[in-house]
Each structure stands twice: as structure tokens, then as C-alpha cells.
Amino acid sequence: MSVELNSVPEAVEAIRRGEVVIVVDAEDRENEGDYICAAEKATPEVVNFMLSGRGQLCVSILPEVSKRLDLAPVVMENDAPLKTAFLTPIDIRDAKTGITAAERSATIRRLASPDCNAAEFVRPGHVYPLLAKEGGVLRRAGHTEAAVDLARMAGLHPAAALCEILDDSGDRASRDDLAAIARERNLKIISIEQLISHRRVSEKLISRAAEARLPTRHGEFTIIVYGVQYEAQEPIALVYGDLSAPGTPPLVRMHSSCFTGDLVASLRCDCGDQLQMALEMISNEGRGALIYLPQEGRGIGLAQKIRAYALQDSGLDTVEANHALGFKADMRDYGVGLQILKDLGLSKVRLLTNNPKKTEAFNLRGFDLQVVDQVPIVPPVNEHNQRYLETKRAKLGHRLPEL
């Protein structure tokens, strides 16, 4: 049974009226559905209904509120797979135990007040604040951010209650279960991908900060440096030729920064070779773009990458080394890169990559970008990177020939 989703404006209007909506995420992420309502509309009756979802009742707030209330992360090192940012659980100070629907309602609604202060709450409590990222689902495609976005878009205070929905066996409710609940309760149901797509029409986090000609040994490119709201990173687009010209969709490379490979020609990886190969292939075609994203070490940072190298020297492969350091095999996110491609006016691309997960990122994020072809970019193999490439093929699914 397919889930018939409502429109984002319908869900926003329901939130404005104080109703609960169901929000689902990608099936390859948590594959989860949450009840969500605006925090200032969380009456005891609404809270009692949301608790029927059987999950953890939380409330999404922005960093300014967290700072004002002196709410600390529940752990200093968050190694949860999706980095859900749980803060100190709290109760409203005049609650008896804090567990009742009325008491949790009072806690949640007070959190939504712009003048609330730390003295009004006790800790620990029964309501878990979640720290949402500024920028919402355009920065992180999670329920935490979706909840705040919906409240803000409804013209309400940017704070929202949310609770995961489990089935009668205690497992995550399936898409069919969620659709049945929505029909039975007359609830609006939308996806996070829909929310991203809707916000992308009128909002974006990136802006052009500088632009100039850039002659290279591969020909003359245009370099565009972007600023990203709420972040210090400065991603770059190297554009060759006229991307809007009719014909075959242009070649595009989403390249994550690699100091060791890109700058000093390390033989431990294939990054530097792929960078130069991509520029040459784009130049030979006469048009295309390379997006350079500051995501060192598949997103773990330079220092951690060098620590991973040391672990690889002791016998671990690149995936095992990341896991040993407490990271997923690949921590990268392509949301900013996708926004840059939209800023460049692209809707269809031929993606220069061996990594099918990059192709999936285009299709899952709701940015109206279509990968019409995955073009291989296979670098030379040497004695230092052979095991690395074999691991990428065997454990990360990269499309590489026999090495």
C-alpha cells in the first residue's frame, strides 16, 4: 500500500491550528514516523494523544533557547548513528512528579515561551529537549529539524513536541501503519523530503561570496566561492563552459576536500588523482562543474583522518579505522553541494563518481536534481592505495574494477 502524502502547506496549516501531524523520513535512514505539534499548542489532550505513539516524548528547540536555559548535552561525545542531540531532560518547577500529560504539557508550552528562564525548570525531568540545527532540514534531514521548521513556517514560536510512533509489537510503525493512523485520526502526513523540497523553492543557505576567472592547466574555469549560513565553511564551485547550453547534461563532480591527496599528492588514497581527472574530463567535454566541499576524511576532519591512517598502519582497513575512532564509515553530507548545483541552474547532471551513495543523495534529498548517468572516474592503482580501493569496493559499494 502506498502512502498518500499531504502537501507541506496543508501540514503547516494543521500545525498552525494546533493539530498533530505525522512526519516520515527516508526509508534508508531511520524509516520512522513521528507525531509532531507546535510546542505552544501542546495541550494536555494533545500530549496524551502523542504519548500513544509509545516513543520518547521530546521537544525540539533552537540553540538560543538551550543556551538561555543552560541545557547541556546528555553526553559529551555523541556517537549515536544519526547524532540526535538530546539535552538535559527537564520538568516545569511546579510539577509534582512531572510525568502526567498535564505536567508535560506545561513543561513543553513554557519552553515555547520567548521569556522562559532556567529557574522555571527542574532537572532531570520527563521531557527531553532536542537541539535543532539552525537552518532546519536544509542542514540536517531529521525530525528534530523538521519539527522546528513546521512550527516556524506556521508563524508560531520555533519549538515543537515530537514522539516516535511504534506499532502494537513495539517496533517502528511501518509506512502502511502510519498511513492507516493518518486516515483513522484524520491527520496530515508529510515526508522530510517534501519539506526540504518546499523550503528549497524559496529558501537557501548558500550565497555567492566571490567569483573570478581561473586559468588552469586544464583550461579556463570560473571559480565561485560560497558562504554558508550558520557555518564557517566556504565550499567552491569550479565551472567550465556554459552550463545552460542545450544538449547532454553536463558532467559534475562532488569532491570532498583531501589535504593529503589533493595538495601533497599522497599515494594512500585516490582523491588527488580523481580531482585532476575530473577537471580534465570536464574540460574535454567543454562544460561542467566541480563542487569542492570541505569534508576532510569522509567528514571526520584532518586530525581524525591522520589518526585513522595510524590505525591502518597497524593493520585496520579504512572502514575499520573509522569505526575504531567512533565514526561511521562515511560521515559526509551533500546538502550544501546540492544547493550549489541548484544555484548554478542545474536540474540534470552526469555525476562523476564511483560511489552510488552520492547518486542516492541526489534522489533522496528533494532538490529537483536528477542524475541521468553515473560516470566512472577510476584512478591509477599503486601499492599504497590498493587495499584502500579494495575496501571501498567491498565495504562501501564503490564501483571499481578488479584491482
pLDDT at 9 over 70: yes
For the segment 47-69, the average pLDDT, to the nearest whole number, is: 94
On average, the pLDDT of the chain sits at 89
Domain count, the chain: 2
Is 312 domain-assigned? no
**Final residue before a domain boundary, out of 166, 200, 234:** 200
User: Do 290 and 373 belong together in one domain?
Assistant: yes
Picking from 247-251, 342-346, 367-371, which range would have the lowest pLDDT averaged per residue? Answer: 367-371
Residues designated as active site: 330, 332
CA angle 391, 393, 399 (to 5 degrees): 160
Domain hosting 284: range is 204-295+332-395
pLDDT at 160 over 90: yes
CA 281/CA 209 separation, integer angstroms: 27
pLDDT at 28 over 80: no
Residue 47 burial (C-beta neighbours within 10 Å; 0-12, 13-18, 19+): buried
Is 310 domain-assigned? no
Is 277 domain-assigned? yes
Length of the chain: 403
Q: What is the CATH number of the domain that holds 100?
A: 3.90.870.10
Picking from 85-94, 304-313, 386-395, which range would have the lowest pLDDT averaged per residue? Answer: 386-395
Q: What is the 3-state secondary structure (H, E, C) of 251-269?
A: EEEEEECCHHHHHCCCCCC
**Final residue before a domain boundary, out of 141, 168, 200:** 200
For the segment 78-89, the average pLDDT, to the nearest whole number, is: 73
User: Parallel, antiparallel, or unpaired: how do β-strands 121-131 and 58-61 relate?
Assistant: parallel
Is 324 domain-assigned? no
Give the pLDDT band of residue 201 (cuts 50, 70, 90): low
For the segment 208-217, the average pLDDT, to the nearest whole number, is: 97
Give the pLDDT band of residue 93 (cuts 50, 70, 90): very high
Is 1 domain-assigned? no
User: Parallel, antiparallel, or unpaired: how do β-strands 21-24 and 236-240 relate?
Assistant: unpaired
pLDDT at 395 over 80: no
**Final residue before a domain boundary, out of 137, 168, 200:** 200
User: Do 341 and 232 contact (CB within 8 A), yes or no?
Assistant: no
User: Do 355 and 381 belong together in one domain?
Assistant: yes
Higher pLDDT, 46 or 79: 46
Give the pLDDT band of residue 369 (cuts 50, 70, 90): confident
**What is the per-residue pLDDT for 1?**
45
User: Do 182 and 166 belong together in one domain?
Assistant: yes
Picking from 32-41, 106-115, 121-130, 227-236, which range would have the lowest pLDDT averaged per residue? Answer: 227-236
User: Do 362 and 374 belong together in one domain?
Assistant: yes
User: Do 175 and 213 belong together in one domain?
Assistant: no
Share of the chain above pLDDT 70, in %: 93
Angle in degrees, 0-180, between the axes of helices 143-153 and 8-16, rounded to the nearest 10: 70
pTM: 0.67
User: Do 272 and 236 belong together in one domain?
Assistant: yes
**What is the per-residue pLDDT for 199?**
83
Q: What is the CATH number of the domain that holds 342?
A: 3.40.50.10990
Give the pLDDT band of residue 80 (cuts 50, 70, 90): low
Q: Spell out where 54-172 has E strands.
A: 58-61, 90-92, 121-131, 160-164
For the segment 54-62, the average pLDDT, to the nearest whole number, is: 94
C-alpha cell at 245: 547550453
Is 303 domain-assigned? no
**What is the per-residue pLDDT for 270?**
87
pLDDT at 2 over 60: no
As a dihedral over the C-alpha atoms of residue 386, residue 331, residue 201, residue 181, rounded to 10 degrees, the angle is: 120
Residue 63 burial (C-beta neighbours within 10 Å; 0-12, 13-18, 19+): middle
For the stretch 223-248, pLDDT in tens is: 999 998 877 889 999 999 999 999 99
Is 241 domain-assigned? yes
3-state secondary structure of 364: helix
For the segment 145-170, the average pLDDT, to the nearest whole number, is: 95
User: Do 86 and 194 belong together in one domain?
Assistant: yes
For the segment 66-93, the average pLDDT, to the nearest whole number, is: 80
User: Do 209 and 195 belong together in one domain?
Assistant: no
**What is the per-residue pLDDT for 393?**
79
**What is the per-residue pLDDT for 394?**
78
**What is the per-residue pLDDT for 83?**
65
User: Do 185 and 269 belong together in one domain?
Assistant: no
For the stretch 316-352, pLDDT in tens is: 988 898 889 888 788 777 878 888 999 999 999 999 9
Please give the full DSSP string across 79-95, using - where no structure is assigned: --TT---BB--EEETT-
User: Do 374 and 229 belong together in one domain?
Assistant: yes
**What is the per-residue pLDDT for 299?**
85
For the segment 353-361, the average pLDDT, to the nearest whole number, is: 81
Higher pLDDT, 229 or 80: 229
User: Do 96 and 228 belong together in one domain?
Assistant: no
User: Do 149 and 214 belong together in one domain?
Assistant: no
Is 302 domain-assigned? no
